[in-house]
Chain A
Amino acid sequence: MTKITREDVLHLAKLSSLELTDDEVTAMQDELTEITDYIAMLGGLTTEGVEPKYQVSGLENIYREDEPQTSSVSREDLLALSYATSDDQVKVPKVL
């Protein structure tokens, strides 16, 4: 059984871009321990020589013609969805 430590939770939260509250970190520690313990059942299957199956449709490399297409959605429509814009750009806190 993999015991998930508090440090593990904080590391995963960082990978996930989630700023969890202290209570959430505590709850996640127990829950993730239980869940990872459950999914560890997969170790009981013999899969030697089996190719992984990432998709089931059998479709491969479906492309459209490389021609520009028009969209019903305008730049203004998309910018309107953002919380803050300035000069037709999406505004975020200072990066540098």
Chain B
Amino acid sequence: MKTITEYLQSGLSATEMVKQALARAKQVADYNSFLSLTEERALKRAAQIDSGEISGKLAGVPFVVKDNMLAFGAPTTAASVMLKDFHAPLQATAVEKLEAEGAICIGKSNLDAFAHGGSTENSAYGVTKNAHDTKRVAGGSSGGSAVITALDVVPFALGTDTGGSIRQPASFNGVVGIKPTYGTVSRYGVVAMASSTDTIGCFTHTAADADVVMGIMAGRDANDMTTLPNFWNEKSNSVKKSLQIGLIKETMGDGIDTEVQAAVYEYAERLKGAGHTVREVSMPTISYSLGMYYVIVPAEISSNLARYDGVRYGYRSQNATSLEELYGQSRDQGFEMENKRRIMIGSFVLSSGFFDAYYQQAQKARALLCSEFDELFASYDLLLSPVSPTPAFAIGQKTNDPIQMYKADIMTVPASLAGLPAVSVPAGVSSTGLPVGAQLIGPQKSDRLLLRLAAQLEKGA
């Protein structure tokens, strides 16, 4: 069983579905994709569904939540020492909405601590292995959820995407991953990283399943004033017979693995075969987007992570004799190196003397990037690019070189900075058997169009 429909039509009881998923989760423990299983709570909820106490569109369907989203039944660690024993007093809105439709969370997945990273190697609880080659990274930061979906433990898993954290692991593991329009899903109950680009999305085997899951999670939430009114039910997004699609030239040049390029060109051919037009387009500012991202996001991280002070919740150092030492030591011991690196970069770009040259300049550059997207969307329905410059890289290959690790995000950060929806779809397989994804990017609120187009191509596959 892979898809939500297959689960719903399996004839299995909720208890049987949950037990099967839990057994599979234990079977694939070597991948280190789970940080915890919420077995007791999951079985209790399954019994409530089987007795008719809870019902809904996803009654009994098991799913997994990235461990930077608050959920009951296990701690929410964000894969950090800081939140090692943090038992959430509430659940994320996204989780609540899925539970209200009868879906059952069976566990929490591994990530780069606080979602800072692109490989799930920065977890305080060990590396997650790629579903197709255990010597390679899962991608990240939502690596655990991607691997769990690819290994058929559950039909869907939740992730967060701030700069590519759903799309890149989806590409590395050969599943569908969607980062929705900024504001589609409430961020309430999600460990904040960069508030202006944080989004909640999911991993699935099919675009149709992603449409179902996102439709349930989408909508206004009084607890997150940046949420958009639910646009998932608007009818304007049906696929036109012939779409105009722009292939972003700058993402297909030097430094991009030739097998990745080949897979994206092949996907472009398939789009043409389905009656759409694909033309090369240029986005000169896109080459600056990684620079913008690694100014703006660390700046927001340094502010958002200021709340972890060892006082109200989270890890507290035992050796501190003053309040200042308590802050400094708790934060040094509770954060991973990459967390500290990003907090320090954030402090740098926001500090007096550098604020205008880095932070303000990055936000102006972001305005230019957004204008370029707007101009292209005046003539094109959507854009196409690779997801990542390479297929999954070897574990350990980039851990000592932050810049090389950051460059793995080069294709995914532009849509994040502009708040655009983007979907990673399986497009091909490398000569060594590794999945390669293609990325579809659309104007804000075109999420369903992207998924419907992806679904159209799946049928043709």
Contacts and interface: CB of A to CB of B under 8 A. Distances in A.
Given A45-B285, A78-B313, 17 more contacts: A13-B344, A24-B340, A28-B341, A36-B358, A39-B345, A41-B288, A45-B361, A45-B364, A51-B364, A53-B364, A62-B225, A81-B89, A81-B312, A82-B313, A83-B316, A92-B311, A93-B325
B295 A17 contact: no
A24 B337 contact: yes
Nearest to A46: B368
Contacts of A15: 347, 351
What 6 pairs across the A-B complex have the smallest Cβ distances?
A19-B328, A56-B419, A52-B363, A81-B313, A47-B364, A53-B367
B378 to A, nearest CB: 17
A34 B345 CA distance: 11
Interface stretch (B31-39, B206-214, B302-310, B389-397): B302-310
Contacts of B363: 52-54
B329 A42 contact: no
A85 B437 CA distance: 50
Contacts of A77: 89
Contact of A92 (B86, B288, B323): B323
27 contacts: A12-B344, A16-B331, A16-B343, A17-B306, A17-B309, A28-B340, A35-B294, A35-B402, A39-B295, A39-B345, A39-B362, A41-B288, A42-B291, A45-B364, A47-B364, A47-B365, A47-B367, A52-B367, A53-B364, A55-B196, A59-B225, A77-B89, A78-B313, A84-B316, A92-B311, A93-B321, A93-B325
A20 B351 contact: no
Contacts of B365: 42, 45, 47
Specify which of A39, A52, A72, A94 lies most central, judged by the most chain B CB atoms within 10 Å of its CB. Answer: A39
Nearest to A65: B222
Given A17-B331, A42-B291, A59 B183 contact: yes
Contacts of A1: none
Contacts of A36: 345, 348, 358
Contact of A81 (B86, B291, B294, B325): B86
Specify which of B222, B309, B311, B344 lies most central, judged by the most chain A CB atoms within 10 Å of its CB. Answer: B344
A54 to B, nearest CB: 6
A56 B320 CA distance: 42
A47 B292 CA distance: 13
Nearest to B85: A81
Given A15-B351, A57-B183, A43 B328 contact: no
Contacts of B402: 31, 34-35
A86 interface: no
Contacts of B274: none
Contacts of B340: 16, 18, 20, 24, 28
B182 interface: yes
Interface string A2-38: 0000000100110111111100100110011011101
